[in-house]
């Protein structure tokens, strides 16, 4: 089971975006689509989908948070596994570019023979890269954090923090900025990756006058099997009390997490409209999720 799942916040486009992405990536599909009612954002569509086996969640919940490049997704094309890797990269780039904005043009760079960074028409950012077959193997899709503004220079510290919180974790490679690479300072992380719960993530420091930083538009759902596990992650990660709501929290670097019981999939995906409404109204009153109260709401009549 994928323990940590990226969650994308859209205004109204969650279903459209999921259909778009699953049409571009091989072996992809939309899972469950649920509409919850009477929330502060009105009626909200919640969509689960997977891209080449990697799970995502998305919600249409109003124009409150705007997607930005502080969190992006590496897509690793490995020539040793795919003889058409470069061609497939180019095809995906072309499709993601329609209505989108190139943040770094598709070109040759010191770190890759073929790489580009694109923000698509829905606002989601992707880094498409032709990987070095001689390097250690990485998954096809890897979420990446860009530490900007108040947390510039904190990428290395954050990687150590996250690997201390999550099980089955380790640091991977780390490349640091040399002197003379202003506005990035010597020793900051140019690129690093790390594993949490056997899933790979990447991190980079971004100096300079960036107009964006982490926000709730991209959060990460942590599935928990019991209340003890929910309590553990909540206590370890939550650092902004005013951001605690409906299972959401914000950590000391500004990254948003959702600490959610595994049973929520069954409670919200049952197709029973009345049960879904009862559970929704119960969790809207919560900060940290209480499994017993959620089960009680589901079972009450």
The CATH number given to whatever domain includes residue 33 is 3.10.180.10
Domain boundary (149, 180, 205) is at 205
Domain boundary (153, 182, 205) is at 205
Has residue 268 been placed in a domain?
A: yes
Has residue 210 been placed in a domain?
A: no
pLDDT for the residue 125: 98
In this structure, the answer to whether residues 175 and 233 fall within a common structural domain is: no
In this structure, the answer to whether residues 61 and 97 fall within a common structural domain is: no
pLDDT for the residue 169: 97
In this structure, the answer to whether residues 162 and 221 fall within a common structural domain is: no
> Which residues lie below 8 Å from residue 166, measured CB to CB, with a gap of 6+?
4, 196, 197
In this structure, the answer to whether residues 111 and 229 fall within a common structural domain is: no
Any idea which residue has 């998954």 for tokens?
139
Has residue 145 been placed in a domain?
A: yes
In this structure, the answer to whether residues 82 and 98 fall within a common structural domain is: yes
**Does residue 178 contact residue 119 with C-beta atoms inside 8 Å?**
no
Residues 96 and 121: their CA atoms lie apart, in Å, by: 8
Per-residue pLDDT of the chain (301 residues; tens, 9 = 90+): 799 999 999 999 999 999 999 999 999 999 999 888 888 888 999 999 999 999 999 999 999 999 999 999 999 999 998 999 999 999 999 999 999 999 999 999 999 999 999 999 999 999 999 998 777 789 999 999 999 999 999 999 999 999 999 999 999 999 999 999 999 999 999 999 999 999 999 999 999 889 999 999 999 999 999 999 999 999 999 999 999 999 999 999 999 999 999 999 888 877 788 888 898 899 999 999 999 999 998 888 6
Would you say the C-alpha torsion 96, 97, 99, 102 has a positive or negative sign? Answer: positive
Number of domains in the chain: 2
Has residue 226 been placed in a domain?
A: yes
Residues 101 and 226: their CA atoms lie apart, in Å, by: 42
In this structure, the answer to whether residues 236 and 184 fall within a common structural domain is: no
State the CATH number of the domain containing residue 92. 3.30.720.110
- Does 280 sit behind a cis peptide bond, omega within 30 degrees of 0 on the bond before it? no
Residues 176 and 301: their CA atoms lie apart, in Å, by: 58
Has residue 113 been placed in a domain?
A: yes
User: In 10 A of CB 12, how many CB atoms?
Assistant: 12
Has residue 267 been placed in a domain?
A: yes
**The pTM is what?**
0.96
Closest CA to 213 of 185, 153, 253, 157: 253
Residues 252 and 278: their CA atoms lie apart, in Å, by: 33
pLDDT for the residue 241: 96
In this structure, the answer to whether residues 77 and 201 fall within a common structural domain is: yes
Phi, psi of 155 (to 5 degrees): -60, -45
Cα dist from 109 to 130, 181, 273, whole Å: 11, 16, 52
Has residue 211 been placed in a domain?
A: no
Maximum alpha-carbon separation in the chain = 66
Domain boundary (146, 177, 205) is at 205
pLDDT for the residue 301: 64
In this structure, the answer to whether residues 176 and 225 fall within a common structural domain is: no
pLDDT for the residue 4: 98
In this structure, the answer to whether residues 151 and 45 fall within a common structural domain is: no
E strands along the chain, which residues?
Answer: 4-10, 29-39, 42-51, 54-60, 71-77, 101-109, 112-119, 125-130, 141-147, 170-176, 189-196, 199-205, 218-224, 248-250, 256-261
In this structure, the answer to whether residues 90 and 187 fall within a common structural domain is: yes
218-224: strand order across its sheet: 29-39, 42-51, 54-60, 4-10, 218-224, 256-261, 248-250
Residues 179 and 187: their CA atoms lie apart, in Å, by: 8
In this structure, the answer to whether residues 169 and 98 fall within a common structural domain is: yes
In this structure, the answer to whether residues 239 and 260 fall within a common structural domain is: yes
Containing structural domain, residue 252:
4-65+216-299
pLDDT for the residue 151: 97
């Amino acid at each position: 089971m994928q323990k940590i799942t990226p969650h994308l916040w859209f205004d109204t486009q969650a279903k459209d975006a999921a259909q778009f992405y699953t049409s571009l990536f091989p072996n992809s599909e939309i899972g469950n689509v649920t509409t919850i009612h009477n929330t502060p954002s009105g009626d909200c569509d919640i969509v689960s989908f997977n891209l080449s086996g990697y799970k995502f969640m998305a919600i249409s919940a109003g124009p409150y948070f705007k997607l930005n490049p502080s969190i992006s997704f590496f897509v690793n094309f490995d020539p040793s596994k795919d003889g058409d890797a470069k061609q497939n990269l180019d095809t995906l780039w072309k499709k993601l570019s329609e209505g989108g904005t190139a943040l770094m043009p598709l070109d040759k760079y010191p770190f890759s023979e073929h790489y580009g960074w694109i923000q698509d028409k829905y606002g989601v950012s992707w880094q498409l890269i032709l990987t070095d077959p001689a390097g250690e193997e990485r998954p096809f899709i890897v979420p990446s954090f860009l530490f900007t503004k108040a947390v510039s220079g904190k990428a290395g510290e954050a990687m150590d923090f996250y690997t201390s919180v999550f099980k089955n974790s380790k640091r991977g490679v780390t490349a640091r900025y040399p002197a003379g690479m202003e506005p990035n300072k010597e020793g900051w992380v140019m690129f690093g990756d790390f594993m949490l719960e056997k899933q790979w993530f990447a991190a980079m420091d971004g100096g300079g006058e960036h107009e964006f930083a982490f926000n709730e538009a991209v959060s990460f759902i942590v599935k928990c099997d019991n209340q003890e596990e929910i309590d553990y992650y909540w206590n370890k990660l939550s650092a902004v009390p005013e951001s605690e709501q409906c299972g959401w929290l914000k950590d000391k670097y500004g990254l948003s997490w959702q600490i959610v019981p595994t049973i929520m999939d069954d409670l919200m995906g049952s197709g029973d409209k009345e049960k879904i409404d009862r559970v929704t109204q119960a969790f809207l009153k919560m900060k940290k999720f209480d499994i017993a109260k959620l089960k009680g709401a589901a079972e009450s009549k």
